[in-house]
Structure formats: structure tokens, C-alpha cells
Amino acid sequence: MAVHIVEGSFDPNRYQAEHEASLVAGSFGATANFIGTMRHINEGDEVTGMTLEHYPGMTEKELENIISDACEQWRLIDALIVHRVGPMTPGEPIVLTTVWSMHRKDAFEAVRFLMEALKSRAPFWKKETLANGRSRWVEKNTPGY
């Protein structure tokens, strides 16, 4: 189980592959992941950049709690959360959640749980810069269910 908060651009595949290298090959049959990417349109407006603020210390703790909660509900072999903070531009990955399990039901349900829990419990906030030069705090998430 691992949680990474990263500043600057990151490659989700590399994080997932490096984490997977620590697992026993053939032990897991299912890997489900989700990558959240910054879009260039939000709420109908063109967005040119975004800054992610977080609460160092609480963020890591809350992400670890979320993984623990998932491990209580599903039979998981491993889980990984990587979340970017600081300034970024459209097209760049914001978050990666990956779950490894024996069977696909656990992986599918747990990876979705991780994302929904992250979006409601982990202290991150997005500030967008619009094409017209103004900036605004994002005030709510898109519904996940």
C-alpha cells in the first residue's frame, strides 16, 4: 500500500509499474486503475491552468485511511494512490489510483471507492486560471455515482 503526493508532472504508468514490480508475479489476476487528467474545459469555460493546494500531513493520513477502509471492505493484494499538487496545465495527470486483487470484482469496486473517498475526504482544492485571465476556486465535484 502506498501514497505519494508529487509536485510537478508525473507518469502514472511509471508509478504503477514500479509499484507492481514489488508484487509476486502471478499472485494477482486483476488490476484496475483510474487516472484523472486536467481538462481544458470546466463548467463551460476554457481553462488554461490549475493549481492544486493541499493540507500537508492531513492529506497523506487521509489517503492512508481511505486505503485501509478499502482493505476492510474488499479482498485486495495492494493499492496505490498518487496525487499531484501545485501548478499544472490541461492534459496533465492529476491523480492515479490503482488496485491489485485476485479477482476483478474487488479491483473494480475498490478502485472506484478510492476515488470517491478521495474526492470527498482528502484535503485538496483546485484553483483554475481561465482563458480570460481570471482565476477561480473550483467549488464542487462532479457526481461520481
Residues of this chain that interact with its own copies (CB under 8 A) are 13, 16-17, 25-41, 90-91, 102-105, 107-108, 111-112, 115, 142-145
* Contact pattern from residue 25 through residue 64 relative to other proteins, giving x for each residue in contact according to CB under 8 A and a dash for the rest: -----------x---------------xxxx-xx--xx--
Pick left, alpha or beta for residue 65 (phi over 0 → left; psi -120 to 50 → alpha; otherwise beta): alpha
Helix residue spans in the chain (DSSP H): 12-20, 58-73, 104-121
Q: Are 91 and 77 in contact (CB under 8 A)?
A: no
Distance CA 123, CA 47 (A): 22
Q: How far is the CB of 4 from its own copies (least distance, A)?
A: 18
Kindly state the greatest CA–CA separation across the chain.
52
Nearer to other proteins, 47 or 52 (CB): 52
CB under 5 to 8 A by kind: which of other proteins, its own copies, none does 103 bind? its own copies
CB under 5 to 8 A by kind: which of its own copies, other proteins, none does 137 bind? other proteins
111 touches other proteins (CB under 8 A):
no
Distance CA 129, CA 39 (A): 12
The region of 9-17, 20-28, 68-76, 120-128 touching other proteins under the rule CB under 8 A is 120-128
